[in-house]
């Protein structure tokens, strides 16, 4: 099934236009949604997860009208929000069992088998008697994925799932998401470019409530191929370089700024750089492509 978002708009009471004519078509597999904080990613995720209404537009998942038939959507949905709260003294096993009951799984034996399977899938079975509140950030996120998968969902939405995770936990999370994405539609909302490059073939970039790019990661890299150049400079030269060149990004490498600029030919002192998805991200946000 495909998720088809057409001309979605959302304006909050404070006047913020969080979604502006957002249109996307998302098929099975991992779909990356990139954007800076405040770009509208979480607003889109909450709308798709039936947690808030849109002002206008439409969303369909297969034959289901997502905006009107919320109950049906929720039977097919797995959702891991950016902030995932837990009961302080409840074990992983007990909490997952409780969430399964809330999702309508009333047969105790079947429910226990599913809970055990999911905890094993996210490598938490040995910790099933421990309180989720005592888990590390990565373990808690893995538990979040386990609750996402209750009932074999067809649509999985995860919002900023790897923020704050150490490299080891991030890699474990990558592996779990990759496995899930082989069977269902998975939307990964993040501001971490590496997440999308590691996991996703299809992606979109949002900025100020609008979709500024939608396509494959390879197509995104092709847009800037041969037009990104780099140079290590002194910190005192950053402002001068910025005044004379279209700077994509600047980061410290070995204590000195490494500048990436966008140009049709190499500026004096610059050398060709291997284009990255991060370059595409910043080039789009700065309206360079």
Cβ–Cβ under 8 Å, residues 206 and 41: yes
What pLDDT does residue 39 have? 92
* Strand 185-190, strand 155-159: pairing: parallel
What pLDDT does residue 183 have? 84
Domain locations in the chain as residue ranges: 3-216, 225-285
Cβ–Cβ under 8 Å, residues 80 and 145: yes
**Which residues touch 262 (CB under 8 Å, ≥6 apart)?**
224, 227, 228, 246, 247, 248, 279, 283, 288, 289
Q: Which residue has the higher pLDDT, 198 or 6?
A: 6
Distance CA 146, CA 103 (A): 13
Cβ–Cβ under 8 Å, residues 263 and 279: no
- pLDDT (mean) for 34-47: 92
What pLDDT does residue 286 have? 86
Q: Which residue has the higher pLDDT, 174 or 266?
A: 266
Q: Which helix (H) or strand (E) holds 147?
A: helix 137-148
- pLDDT, tens digit, for every residue of 26-35? 999 999 999 9
pLDDT above 90 (res 130)? yes
- pLDDT, tens digit, for every residue of 50-109? 999 999 999 999 999 999 999 999 999 999 887 777 777 899 999 999 999 988 899 999
- Domain at 3-216, CATH class: alpha beta
The tokens describing 30, both together, are 């991992």
pLDDT above 90 (res 1)? no
Length in residues, the chain? 289
Split at pLDDT 50, 70, 90, the class of 47 is very high
The winner for highest mean pLDDT among 22-36, 191-205, 248-262 is 22-36
- pLDDT, tens digit, for every residue of 236-257? 888 889 899 999 988 888 888 9
What pLDDT does residue 169 have? 81
What pLDDT does residue 170 have? 82
Kindly give the interhelix angle for 108-121 and 92-102, rounded to the nearest 10 degrees: 120
- In angstroms, what is the C-alpha Rg of the chain? 21
pTM here is 0.87
Locus of tokens 């050398």 = 271
Q: Which helix (H) or strand (E) holds 18?
A: strand 17-26
**Which residues touch 264 (CB under 8 Å, ≥6 apart)?**
227
Q: Which residue has the higher pLDDT, 210 or 81?
A: 210
- pLDDT (mean) for 107-133: 93
Split at pLDDT 50, 70, 90, the class of 147 is very high
Scanning 10-128, the segments in alpha helix (DSSP H) are 41-48, 70-75, 92-102, 108-121
Cβ–Cβ under 8 Å, residues 127 and 120: no
């Amino acid at each position: 099934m495909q998720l088809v978002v057409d001309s979605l708009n959302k304006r909050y009471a404070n006047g913020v236009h969080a979604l502006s004519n957002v249109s996307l078509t998302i098929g099975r597999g991992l779909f990356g949604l990139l954007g800076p904080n405040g770009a509208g990613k979480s607003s889109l995720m909450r709308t798709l997860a039936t947690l808030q209404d849109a002002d206008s537009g439409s969303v369909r998942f297969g034959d289901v009208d997502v905006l009107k038939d919320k109950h049906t959507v929720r039977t097919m949905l797995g959702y891991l929000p950016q902030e995932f709260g837990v009961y302080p003294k409840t074990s992983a096993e007990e909490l997952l069992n409780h969430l399964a009951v809330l999702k309508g799984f009333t047969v105790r034996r079947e429910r226990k088998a599913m809970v055990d399977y999911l905890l094993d899938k996210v490598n938490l079975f040995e910790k099933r008697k421990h309180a989720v509140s005592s888990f590390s950030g990565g373990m808690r996120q893995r538990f979040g994925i386990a609750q996402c998968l209750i009932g074999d969902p067809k649509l999985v939405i995860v919002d900023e799932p790897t923020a704050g995770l150490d490299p080891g936990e991030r890699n474990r999370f990558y592996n779990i998401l990759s496995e899930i994405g082989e069977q269902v539609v998975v939307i990964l909302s993040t501001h971490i470019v590496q997440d999308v490059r590691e996991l996703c073939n299809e992606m979109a970039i949002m900025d100020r409530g609008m979709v500024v790019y939608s396509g494959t990661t390879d197509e995104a890299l092709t847009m800037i191929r041969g037009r990104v150049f780099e140079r290590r400079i002194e910190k005192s030269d950053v402002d001068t370089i910025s005044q004379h060149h279209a700077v994509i990004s600047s980061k410290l490498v070995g204590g000195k700024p490494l500048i990436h600029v966008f140009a049709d030919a190499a500026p004096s002192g610059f050398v060709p750089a291997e284009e990255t998805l991060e370059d595409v991200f910043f080039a789009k946000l700065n309206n360079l492509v």
